[in-house]
Homo-oligomer: A and B are copies of this chain.
């Protein structure tokens, strides 16, 4: 029925993945036609722009199978369980991946990473008042911590050395707001 609206009239679970669940949705379009749309369910995540007292920002270098290479990104990780606050994820991932704890966490910016087909939402926090502790990586994480000035990071964004959307959005938001 052409009711001028988009409506989901069916949803089939295609695959329960390791970090995502994949669905095929049957959609009714505003003109009454029907189509199958992909939908990916993700618990969401948080990332951290962690700025040391000397102004340098903590970055992690890790392997990404999507590009078959190591990438430089903000410390980040996904929600452990539904309902976990994004500030809690941010504090945990900062500590696990870099060993640092922060006196202060403020929300910088939040977004959906791939709004066309996935509900992954990432909140990016600014972390300040940093104190060094121990790294506690997940069992499949092997990553190294590096530090850069904001100006170096911005150059790396425009020269294609930083290629990760959450990292780019988070650093640019920090640069606009500081």
Contacts and interface: CB of A to CB of B under 8 A. Distances in A.
A43 interface: no
How many identical chains are in the complex? 2
Contacts of A39: 65-66
Q: Per DSSP, are chain A's interface residues mostly helix, strand or loop, or mixed?
A: mixed
A110 interface: yes
A149 interface: no
Contacts of A175: 176
A173 interface: yes
Contacts of A18: 24, 35-38
A73 interface: yes
- The 7 A-B pairs at the shortest CB distance, nearest first, are namely A172-B172, A17-B38, A111-B165, A6-B63, A169-B169, A66-B119, A113-B114
